[in-house]
A = this chain, B = another copy of it.
Amino acid sequence: MENFIAYNPTKLHFGSGVINNLGKAGKEYGERVLLVYGKGSVLRNGSYDQTKGQLEKIHAEIFEFSGIKPNPVIDDVDAAVRFGLSEKIDYIVAVGGGSVIDSAKIISVCIAERCKGWDVMKNKVSIQSSVPMIAVLTLAATGTEMNPVSVLQNNRTREKIGFSHPSMFPRHSFLDPTYTRTVPANYTAYGIVDLIAHALENFFGYGEASLSDRFVEAIIKEAFDCGPQLMKNLSDYDLRARVMWAATNALNGLTGYGRSSGDWGVHAIGHILSFLYDTPHGATLSIAYPAWLKHLKSRIPDRIRKLGEHLLDEPDVEKVIQQVENFFRSLNSPVRLQEIGINADKKMVILELMNTNKVTGQHHRLDDSDRSIILDWMFS
């Protein structure tokens, strides 16, 4: 086991009606609040109205910044920072999924540090503080509600990258599974894929960490169990709750303690697809993970076998990979690029950007040849 620090200061409120504690939490931070969200869905699922109601109850001065995109871009972050600075906001409330909360994390740093978003993402800012940020989650997927990570896209530099800093933990997160009951089937499936992929990225990371492996298995088993049930009954509260809590735990640190790093090679591949084709994050992962496993299987047969034995009662590496792919397929999440309208004639475009960005894992390094073969599997 490697040395590590376990630290997660987010106060996470989980369950039906927990939004009623948001006002009390916000009041601690001041009076002027920047309310950040995307578009449509939060207006329909009740989260926007209920959040605003809470803020009105404490007589907060509310400044709204909306229109964060599903694959969020740095320009929106910078625009929100300018707005937040001009209105001298005291804290941020982010209502939405990963895109909104990831954006709010960088906004919170940039307002405190008076800097540009991309300089934060590229680790050029010595971060001393951040404006308090409260998250109201409306999509179970990325785990951003209880971690210090943000993933954003820069259309000028043609990059989509992640950045993490302890100042970026949400101070409070409100997770009411009710808000996720109206998430459509495809995004529900992408969320399940995403949480499984997060657990796997840690499982395939660097360093032996026995208990963290067991937590990975627990989380994936939970997803294997309740995911398909949820797909058949999208409005079931308890199944929504189980997926939501599993997604949080898949990326709140728990599955990584004792390892030097996760791998994150599959995510790096996925980000290229999202950048080029605006593909939803989870859809990129259900395509990329089976392909990555097929290529890596000769390097890490024991690791894949362990996963198969513990999760699927299946020791055969080929069959394990097939079952993971079949599971993603059973959720109706795509497993080949053609299924999302990307045909093999795009191979060179994708590969070029993968190579320019030096797409790789932290543990399992990928070179130009690896990327080409993995891409072939994604078209296979």
Which residues of A are in contact with B by a Cβ distance under 8 Å?
1-18, 146, 210-211, 214-215, 217-219, 221-222, 225-226, 238, 241-242, 245-246, 248-249, 254, 257-258
Roughly how many angstroms separate A4 CA and B249 CA in the complex, as a whole number? Answer: 14
Choose among B245, B254, B258 the residue that contacts A1 (Cβ–Cβ < 8 A). Answer: B245
Q: Which B residues are CB-close (under 8 A) to A242?
A: 1, 210-211
CB distance from A181 to the nearest CB of B (A): 14
Choose among B2, B5, B214 the residue that contacts A222 (Cβ–Cβ < 8 A). Answer: B214
Q: Which B residues are CB-close (under 8 A) to A10?
A: 6-7
Determine if B3 and A14 form an interchain contact, defined as CB atoms under 8 angstroms apart.
yes
Q: Which B residues are CB-close (under 8 A) to A257?
A: 14, 245
CB distance from A235 to the nearest CB of B (A): 16
Determine if A14 and B4 form an interchain contact, defined as CB atoms under 8 angstroms apart.
yes
Extra contacts, 10 of them, besides A6-B146, A218-B218 (Cβ < 8 A), are A1-B238, A3-B16, A6-B11, A6-B14, A14-B257, A211-B218, A211-B219, A211-B222, A214-B218, A241-B258
Roughly how many angstroms separate A116 CA and B293 CA in the complex, as a whole number? Answer: 60
Q: Which B residues are CB-close (under 8 A) to A15?
A: 1-4
Determine if B221 and A214 form an interchain contact, defined as CB atoms under 8 angstroms apart.
yes
Q: Which B residues are CB-close (under 8 A) to A14?
A: 1, 3-6, 257-258
Q: Which B residues are CB-close (under 8 A) to A248?
A: 6
Q: Which B residues are CB-close (under 8 A) to A258?
A: 14, 241, 245
Determine if B3 and A17 form an interchain contact, defined as CB atoms under 8 angstroms apart.
yes
Choose among B3, B9, B225 the residue that contacts A210 (Cβ–Cβ < 8 A). Answer: B225
Given contacts A7-B11, A7-B12, A218-B217, contact A245 B2 (CB under 8 A): no
Roughly how many angstroms separate A7 CA and B226 CA in the complex, as a whole number? Answer: 25
- Chain B residue with Cβ nearest A6: B12
Roughly how many angstroms separate A5 CA and B9 CA in the complex, as a whole number? Answer: 12
Determine if B238 and A222 form an interchain contact, defined as CB atoms under 8 angstroms apart.
no
Q: Which B residues are CB-close (under 8 A) to A219?
A: 211, 214
- Chain B residue with Cβ nearest A175: B6
Q: Which B residues are CB-close (under 8 A) to A13?
A: 3, 5
- Chain B residue with Cβ nearest A223: B211
CB distance from A138 to the nearest CB of B (A): 17
Roughly how many angstroms separate A8 CA and B7 CA in the complex, as a whole number? Answer: 8
Roughly how many angstroms separate A219 CA and B212 CA in the complex, as a whole number? Answer: 10
- Chain B residue with Cβ nearest A219: B211
The 9 closest A-B pairs by CB, nearest first: A3-B15, A214-B218, A6-B12, A7-B11, A1-B241, A9-B9, A218-B218, A211-B222, A4-B14
CB distance from A175 to the nearest CB of B (A): 9
